[in-house]
Amino acid sequence: MSGVGVQDWTWTIEAPAGWLVVPSTVTEPAETVGAWQGEAVELLLTSFLPQDSDGGAQPDAGHVELVRDSLTQTVASLVAFADEAATEGARAIAGLGLLDRGPVPVLVTVGMMDPAESDDALMTVLGATGGNPVNPPSIEYPELPDGDGIQVTRVDIDEAGGAWVTVAVGRRTEHPEAVVDTALIWRSQDLVLVPTILETLVGLLSAVKIIRSEP
C-alpha cells in the first residue's frame, strides 16, 4: 500500500506476514475503510477461535458473536488510532500474534529535509532527548540490512503514576537531493511486550521502502 507522498518522494510498507496496514478515514474513502474493517475482523476471528481439524466440537454461535463483537470494537479502535496518526508522512500499522495479544498498533512516520539542513530531528522524534533524568532513554544502534539504525527505549510516568514505555526504531537515509528519516514508534503500558516489540520493529523497519517519485 502506498504511503503518503513526501514532496518528490513516495514510501510504501511491504508489510511482512502478521502485520496489518490500517486505513484512515482521513485519507481513504469510507467504503474502503468499511471493507477493510470487515476483512480484519474475520481475519482476527479465525486466529482467536480454536481450530479443530478433526471435526470435533466447534464454538457455539453465541460465543462466536461475543468474540466478533469484541474484535469489531478492537478494529474500530485501530482505525481511530490511524485517524489520529493520519498527518502527512504518517501511517498506522498493527502487529498480530505478539504474545497472544490483540492487534498491537505501531505508528510509522517518514519525513524529508534538505541535506543542507540536516539536524537531530530523528533523535527527537524517536524520544532520545528529554525523558526522566533518573531513568534516561536507552539508545542503541542496530545493524540493518539496508544501513545503520537507531533504537530508543524510554519509560515515562504519567500524572496518575502509571509507567508508559516507548520503543522507537529509526533510520536516516541520505540521498543527493534529500535526507529521509523513517521512524516506527510503539507506546504502551504493557511492559512485558518490550523485548518482542524491539525485535519486530527492527525487522519491520526494512519493510518501509522509500523511492524517488517520477518527475
- Fill in the amino acid letter for 156: D
Contacts of 96 (CB under 8 A, 6+ apart): 18, 19, 20, 44, 47, 103, 104
C-alpha cell of residue 187? 507506546
**Under 8 Å between Cβ of 185 and 168:** yes
Helix (H, G, I), strand (E, B) or coil at 50: coil
Q: pLDDT band for position 214 (50/70/90)?
A: low
d(CA 188, CA 197): 11
Q: What pLDDT was estimated at residue 53?
A: 52
**pLDDT of 89 higher than 90:** no
- Fill in the amino acid letter for 148: D
Calculate ∠ Cα 188-40-26, nearest 5°. Answer: 70
Mean pLDDT over 189-196 rounds to 93
Q: Whole-model pTM?
A: 0.85
**pLDDT tens digit string along 37-57?**
999 999 888 877 765 555 555
Nearest C-alpha neighbor of 11 from the set 211, 205, 180: 211
Q: pLDDT band for position 101 (50/70/90)?
A: confident
